[in-house]
């Protein structure tokens, strides 16, 4: 049957592009007659999903575990093994599987075939299974060292987790009543269900982490007092203060920040709004503010204290009973960017629009218009060109409103910590997340630069390693070029009881006995590929190379539709009071099938192509008693002619023609 013209557009099997018709120079030919100076070597590289993950998770690793390629140790389930691999880098799989914007999926090489692998949905499954089965974290042997972590958000808790794994005692100081930081006070509960979040946090606390809540360092206790009691200090404060709107009139009492709005809601103090709400932003925080305002609804104000700004400022709290008479709130979100270029996740923009939020792009605030009482009555805006920067002359107009919420950025709350603050209200850090010029002080998370939750978690892991080196009086190691959690073949061999044998250095007498003569050799390193005291024909480049799609054989992969999580789509007429979770988790079978879509870039996934297509039968399966992940095949170099067919048909780019150079 002929291939349709439409299908022809989607071909992915071409190994060479038009114009690739130049022949090798004869002196570069990789085989001559019956011998070759280039034979296959097996090269491990980092896949782009991991390279794109700010917390550096071994994503390919736990996908291979879920799909059944990498098998767990005896007595351990697939779910627990995947959880262990995932949480080497990130102790919050259930949370991150729900709310991370997934830069890993943007980097996924599968995008060059059909559609990305649904990494987030699989991570959610791993996290939910861990909570359902009560998986816990192990603690390292006690070192006698104590570390103070200031801030109990994602960065601080991730650091506490990593430090306890290393055996250091940890105390977390947090200004709030409950731990979680922005995961709790900056993200609404319908995105991070509180029972789930509490479970992931408690698992860390149960490692023996001491918690001092409702304690603001710099106010309730000084840094100097902490310094006397602890061997190291980590600042993980987060960026808890929103940036004020930088236009005239923004000092109006009913012009507040998105951070403050969401904190009041998540603390249970804010139960409704009053009148029309205008949100300024374009990122995920602004979407959360607008979506929460739609869910809260508005009431007609009878008492001044019921106005939402007074609740947000902490002057009062809403009476839940008064919310019974609420109606749908009118909410408009404006952004300097065109709507299609807003930094918020696309699906979040779509959800907010469906829920009745009016979103207008290419608008910039000019002034907060005040009434006679000093309250904001409107936001004056100007239309922008498509570049999101250039105002259109004469295009100003007013948007009438009763509440203005600016979600345009965040900064730190540095009261009592001014000595550590830079001009932006944040804390400087070097590449190892040490505070420059202050030995024993470290920093991570949004207080360095506001970004993603996963970024704070990744920085926490690096900071923890720096703290560990400092406590051991060791020089902080240089970070690798590709700074993520890598598959470790030696660890895998050890786990499966297939370690190389003990090394025995030949004596001169043994060489003479074996060969009949002595050579000028280094007897301590003599050996051949037949010796089993080393791992042969394997090169680990994962610390320096990320494998791109053009080094894969994409033609191997069939088009397979992504297994997408269902979303509970809330319409505008039913959004009021709808605080249930919107994501519907995949079934276990769908999770396994989705994991099978992973192309295992940079690592063998045991497809047998190299074995099947080798014309000399030189590539063979490794005997089962020696095989493990990454050691599925080997090459018989006595048979190999260097034809490079195995490298051409390797789907994952795991084979290079480099041996013998």
Per-residue pLDDT tens over the stretch 192-233: 999 999 999 999 999 999 999 999 999 999 999 999 999 999
pLDDT band at 24 (very low <50, low <70, confident <90, very high): low
Residue 26 banded pLDDT, cuts 50, 70, 90: very low
Task: List b or e across 302-322, with b for residues whose CB sees 16 or more CB atoms inside 10 angstroms.
Answer: eeeebbbbbbbeeeeebeeee
Same domain, 208 and 321: no
Helices and strands (H, E) in the chain, number of each type: 21, 24
| Domain stops at, among 573, 594, 615 | 594
Q: How far is CA 173 from CA 138, 283, 303, in A?
A: 22, 29, 38
Do 230 and 314 lie in one domain? The reply is no
CATH number at residue 442: 3.50.50.60
Same domain? For 217 and 352 the reply is no
User: Which residue's structure tokens are 């007074």?
Assistant: 310
Asked whether residue 7 is assigned to any structural domain, the reply reads: no
Residue 28 reports pLDDT greater than 90: no
Residues 230 and 122 in one domain: no
For 166-247, strand residue ranges (E) read: 169-173, 210-212, 232-235, 241-242
Residues 301 and 366 in one domain: yes
Residue bearing the bigger pLDDT, 247 or 35: 247
Euclidean distance between CA atoms 611 and 616, whole angstroms: 10
| 477, part of any domain | no
Per-residue pLDDT reduced to its tens digit, 427-465: 999 999 999 999 999 999 999 999 999 999 999 999 999
Averaged over 367-378, what is the pLDDT? Answer: 95
pLDDT for 20: 65
The answer to whether residues 144 and 225 belong to one domain is: yes
Name, in order, each residue with C-beta under 8 angstroms of 105's C-beta and a sequence gap of 6 or more.
49, 116, 117, 118, 119, 120
What is the torsional sign of CA 188, 184, 123, 451? positive
Tell me which H or E stretch contains 535: none
The answer to whether residues 181 and 204 belong to one domain is: yes
Mean pLDDT of 312-336: 77
- Cα dihedral 596→598→601→605 (10° resolution): 0
Cβ 331 vs Cβ 357: under 8 Å: yes
How many Å apart are CA 465 and CA 483, to the nearest integer?
12
CA geometry: angle 485, 488, 494, nearest 5 deg: 140
pLDDT of residue 30: 47
pLDDT of the residue at 2: 43
Structure tokens at 521: 């050799």
Q: Pull the structure tokens for residue 56.
A: 């550096």
Question: Is a pLDDT exceeding 90 seen at residue 566?
Answer: yes
Q: Do residues 309 and 274 lie in contact, with contact meaning Cβ atoms separated by under 8 Å?
A: no
Residues 96, 162 within the same domain: no
Rounded to 10 deg, the angle between the 284-296 and 346-354 helix axes is 20
| Diameter over CA atoms, the chain | 107
Spatial distance between the Cα atoms of 187 and 559, rounded to a whole number of angstroms: 36
Check pLDDT > 80 for residue 5: no
- Number of domains making up the chain: 5
Closest CA to 282 of 335, 332, 354: 335
* pLDDT value at 304 more than 80: no
Q: Is the pLDDT of residue 524 over 80?
A: no
User: Which of 14 and 504 is assigned the larger pLDDT?
Assistant: 504
537 confidence band (pLDDT: 50, 70, 90):
confident
pLDDT band, residue 3 (cuts 50/70/90) = very low
- Give me the sheet containing 39-44, strands edge to edge: 538-540, 39-44, 655-659
Residue 595's pLDDT is what? 98
β-pair type (169-173, 146-150): parallel
Cα angle value 315/265/283 (rounded, 5°)? 120
494 CB-near residues (< 8 Å, 6+ apart): none
The confidence band for 37, taking pLDDT boundaries of 50, 70 and 90, is: low
pTM to 2 decimal places: 0.89
**Spatial CB neighbours of 33, under 8 Å, sequence gap ≥ 6:** none
Q: pLDDT digit string (tens) for 254-267?
A: 999 999 999 999 99
Q: How far is CA 525 from the centre of its chain?
A: 42
| Domain span including residue 75 | 47-135+563-594
pLDDT at 8: 42
In this structure, are 402 and 510 located in the same domain? Answer: no
φ, ψ at 237 (rounded to 5°) = -70, -25
C-alpha–C-alpha distance, residues 498 and 96, integer Å? 34
Give the DSSP per-residue string, 270-307: ---B-S-EEEEE-SHHHHHHHHHHHHH-B---SSGGGS
Token representation of residue 434: 């040490």
**Same domain (yes/no): 492, 512:** no
Mean pLDDT of 161-179: 97
Assess whether 364 and 296 both reside in one domain: yes
**Residue 1 falls within a domain, yes or no?**
no
Q: Are residues 158 and 55 in the same domain?
A: no
Residue where a domain stops, chosen among 409, 427, 462: 409
Domain-embedded: residue 4: no
* Average pLDDT rounded to a whole number, residues 141-169: 98
**What local confidence, expressed as pLDDT, does residue 625 receive?**
87
Query: What does the pLDDT look like over 109-126, one tens digit per residue?
Result: 999 999 999 999 999 999
């Amino acid at each position: 049957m002929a291939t349709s013209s439409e299908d022809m557009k989607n071909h992915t099997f071409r190994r060479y592009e038009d114009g690739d018709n130049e022949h090798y120079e004869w002196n570069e030919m990789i085989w001559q007659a019956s011998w070759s100076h280039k034979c296959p070597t097996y090269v491990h590289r980092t896949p782009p999903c991991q390279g794109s993950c700010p917390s550096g998770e071994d994503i390919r690793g736990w996908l291979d575990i879920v799909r059944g390629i990498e098998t767990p140790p005896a007595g351990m389930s697939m779910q627990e093994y995947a959880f262990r691999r995932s949480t080497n880098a990130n102790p919050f799989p259930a949370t991150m599987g729900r709310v991370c914007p997934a830069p890993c999926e943007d980097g996924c090489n599968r995008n060059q075939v059909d559609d990305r692998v649904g990494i987030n949905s699989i991570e959610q499954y791993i996290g939910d299974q861990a909570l359902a089965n009560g998986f816990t974290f192990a603690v390292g042997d006690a070192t006698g060292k104590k570390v103070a972590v200031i801030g109990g958000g994602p960065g601080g808790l991730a650091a506490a987790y990593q430090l306890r794994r290393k055996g250091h005692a940890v105390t977390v100081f947090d200004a709030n009543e409950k731990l979680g930081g922005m995961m709790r006070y900056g993200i609404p509960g319908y995105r991070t269900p509180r029972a789930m979040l509490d479970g992931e946090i408690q698992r860390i606390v149960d490692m023996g982490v001491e918690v001092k809540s409702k304690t603001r360092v710099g106010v309730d206790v000084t840094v100097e007092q902490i310094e006397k009691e602890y061997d190291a200090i980590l600042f993980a404060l987060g960026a808890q203060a929103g940036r004020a709107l930088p236009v005239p009139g923004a000092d109006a009492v009913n012009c507040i920040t998105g951070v403050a709005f969401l904190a009041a809601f998540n603390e249970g103090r804010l139960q409704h709004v009053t009148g029309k709400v205008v949100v300024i932003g374009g990122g995920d925080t602004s979407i959360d503010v607008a979506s929460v305002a739609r869910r809260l609804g508005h009431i007609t104000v009878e008492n001044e204290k019921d106005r939402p700004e007074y609740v947000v400022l902490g002057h009062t709290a809403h009476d839940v009973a008064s919310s019974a008479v609420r109606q749908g709130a009118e909410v408009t979100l404006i952004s300097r960017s065109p709507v299609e270029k807003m930094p918020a996740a696309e699906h979040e923009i779509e959800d907010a629009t469906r829920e009745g939020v009016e979103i207008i792009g290419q608008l910039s605030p000019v002034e907060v218009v005040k009434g006679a009482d000093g309250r904001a009555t409107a936001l004056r805006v100007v239309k922008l060109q498509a570049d999101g920067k250039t105002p259109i002359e004469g295009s100003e107009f007013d948007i009438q409103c009763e509440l203005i919420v600016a979600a345009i950025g965040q900064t730190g709350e540095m009261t009592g910590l001014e000595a550590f603050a830079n001009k932006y209200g944040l804390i400087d850090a070097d590449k190892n997340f040490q505070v420059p010029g202050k030995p024993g002080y470290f920093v991570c998370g949004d207080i360095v630069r506001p970004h993603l939750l996963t970024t704070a978690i990744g920085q926490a892991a690096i900071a923890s390693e720096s703290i560990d080196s400092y406590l051991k009086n060791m020089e902080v190691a240089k970070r690798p070029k590709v700074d993520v959690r890598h598959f470790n073949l030696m660890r895998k061999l050890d786990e499966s009881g297939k370690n190389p044998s003990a090394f025995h250095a030949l004596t001169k007498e043994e060489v003479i006995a074996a060969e009949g003569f002595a050579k000028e050799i280094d007897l301590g390193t003599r050996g051949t590929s037949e010796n089993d005291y080393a791992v042969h024909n394997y090169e680990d480049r994962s610390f320096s190379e990320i494998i791109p799609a053009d080094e894969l054989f994409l033609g191997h992969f069939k088009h397979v539709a992504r297994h997408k999580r269902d979303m509970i789509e809330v319409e505008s007429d039913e959004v009021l009071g709808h605080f249930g979770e919107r994501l519907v988790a995949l079934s276990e079978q769908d999770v396994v099938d989705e994991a099978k879509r992973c192309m295992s870039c940079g690592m063998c996934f045991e497809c047998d192509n190299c074995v099947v297509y080798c014309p000399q039968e030189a590539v063979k399966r490794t005997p089962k008693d020696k095989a493990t992940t990454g050691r599925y095949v080997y090459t018989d170099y006595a048979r190999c002619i260097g034809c490079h067919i195995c490298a051409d048909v390797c789907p994952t780019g795991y084979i290079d023609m480099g041996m013998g150079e």
